[in-house]
Amino acid sequence: MIAHTISLSLGESSYPIYVGQQIFSDLTLLLRHIHGKQVFVVTQEKLVPYIALLQAALASYQCDFFYLPDGEQFKTLAQWQKILETLIQNNHERSTTLIAFGGGVVGDITGFAAACYQRGVNYLQIPTTLIAQVDAAIGGKTAVNHPSGKNRIGAFHQPQCVIVDIDLLKTLPEREYVAGLAEVIKYGLIYDTHFFNWLEENRAALLARNTKALLHAVHTSAHIKSQIVSQDERDQDLRNVLNFGHTFGHALEVLGNYQRWLHGEAVAMGMMLATRLSGDLGLLSRQDVTRIVNCLHAYGFASPSVLPPATDILKAMQHDKKVRDGKINFILLTAIGRAEKIATVTKVQLQAVLESDS
Ligand code: GLY
């Protein structure tokens, strides 16, 4: 059942985001967005129980599957090339439709393959993790990683639709589920005070994966993301606010070899640091700093006291895409529900926040 349909408005590239239950293998829904006779599903072995349902729904198509190994370390040009080779071997034509059925890694690499195969073919996003449902699958950012940094090679390529089925989250491992909540909390912090209040009040229900709470959280997050993307598809201005916590977070991911922390865990620590930096710079009240850090702790996110040395983090941040002319642009909070890009943060201020234990 579709509970909500959000429209991501981007002129001719506009598309719907369906949020509901038991919708990922709904043929009527899939039929609206698959136009040729071929489909190519990029997915992962661990999703086999769900894949059987998708395969049954797509029985009348030439349907080929590509299984991507699990982990951020496989979001590479080598795997992307294998996807393209498999498309060619199976004679997929320009009218084919790629389906990204998995988490953020699957979505990003499939989208990038769709952007490049035959100069661009259609694809659908069916995200199976919380983080992909509320963030990665929405907005058309596609990419692979390079040893020098995350998402360094990619393209903007919008999907035909995003099918967000919260029932897929029932079997998500606890650590991955909680990590996804970091991005949900981010939307409250950068864009919507009421949503942040709701997240504080409904923590127990959300952590218990209560259906009503989950539908509200996922729908609100997807709605906020689509509002932001529709105003700034190419990430030139407003979309930058989605990077709140990510400059620190990406540096931590690199230092942890993408294995020590999940993306959401690194972002949660990054949000705590960026919140404290906002307080140190006098942009955010001390009360709000405490309230935000307490909320993140209550959701189970570790305190940044387990960080690598400040000098290593600062060095890793130099490689971030948000570094322009040697300066790091930080997204900081001016209130709960309001974020701004600040270009004047100094190395000394950064060092101070990275070295404080509070
Ligand atoms: N995940 C950040 C963005 O889509 O812009």
For atom 3 of ligand 1, which residue has the closest CA?
Answer: 242
Three-state secondary structure of the chain: CEEEEEEECECECCEEEEEECCCCCCHHHHHHHCCCCEEEEEECHHHHHHHHHHHHHCCCCEEEEEECCCCHHHCCHHHHHHHHHHHHHCCCCCCCEEEEEECHHHHHHHHHHHHHHHHCCEEEEEECCHHHHHHHCCCCEEEEEECCEEEEEEEECCCCCEEEEHHHHHHCCHHHHHHHHHHHHHHHHHHCHHHHHHHHHCHHHHHCCCHHHHHHHHHHHHHHHHHHHHHCCCCCCHHHHHHCCHHHHHHHHHHCCCCCCCHHHHHHHHHHHHHHHHHHCCCCCHHHHHHHHHHHHHCCCCCHHHCCCHHHHHHHHCCCCCEECCEECEEEEEECCEEEEECCCCHHHHHHHHHCCC
Q: Are residues 311 and 336 in the same domain?
A: yes
Shared domain for 217 and 160, answered yes or no, is no
Q: List ligand 1's pocket residues with C-beta within 6 A.
A: 135, 139, 141, 235, 239, 242
Identify whether residues 153 and 294 lie together within a single domain: no
Please identify, among 126, 148, 169, the residue that sits at the C-terminal boundary of a domain: 169
Instruction: Report the nearest atom of ligand 1 relative to the CA of 239.
Output: 5
Q: Do 124 and 230 fall into the same domain? A: no
User: Same domain for 321 and 258?
Assistant: yes
Name the domain count of the chain: 2
Q: Determine the residue of 129, 135, 191, 234 to mutate for testing ligand 1's pocket, defined as the one with the most ligand atoms within 8 A of the Cβ atom.
A: 135
Q: Are residues 230 and 335 in the same domain?
A: yes
pTM above 0.85, yes or no: yes
225 shares a domain with 112 = no
* Ligand 1: nearest atom to the Cα of 141: 4
- Are 244 and 310 within one domain? yes
Using the 3D structure, point to which of 111, 137, 169 is the last residue of a domain: 169
CA of 225 to the centre of ligand 1 (A): 8
Predicted pLDDT at 302: 82
| Domain stops at, among 117, 147, 169 | 169
The answer on 78 and 224 residing in a single domain is: no
Which domain range does residue 261 map to? 174-354
Residue-by-residue pLDDT tens, the chain, 358 positions: 999 999 999 999 999 999 999 999 999 999 999 999 999 999 999 999 899 999 999 999 999 999 999 988 899 999 999 999 999 999 999 999 999 999 999 999 999 999 999 999 999 999 999 999 999 999 999 999 988 778 999 999 999 999 999 999 999 999 999 999 999 999 999 999 999 999 999 999 999 999 999 999 999 999 999 999 999 999 999 999 999 999 999 899 888 888 889 999 999 999 999 999 999 999 999 999 999 999 999 999 987 667 788 888 888 887 665 655 556 789 999 999 999 999 888 888 888 998 886 5
Say yes or no: 178 and 164 in one domain: no
- Look at the alpha carbons of 102, 104, 107, 113 in this order and tell me if their dihedral is positive or negative: negative
Q: How far is the CA of 25 from the centre of ligand 1 (A)?
A: 26
Whichever domain contains 97, its CATH number is 3.40.50.1970
Which CATH number covers residue 266? 1.20.1090.10
Does 137 lie in the same domain as 211?
Answer: no
128 shares its domain with 143: yes
Query: What's the pLDDT at 259?
Result: 84
Position 320 scores a pLDDT of 64
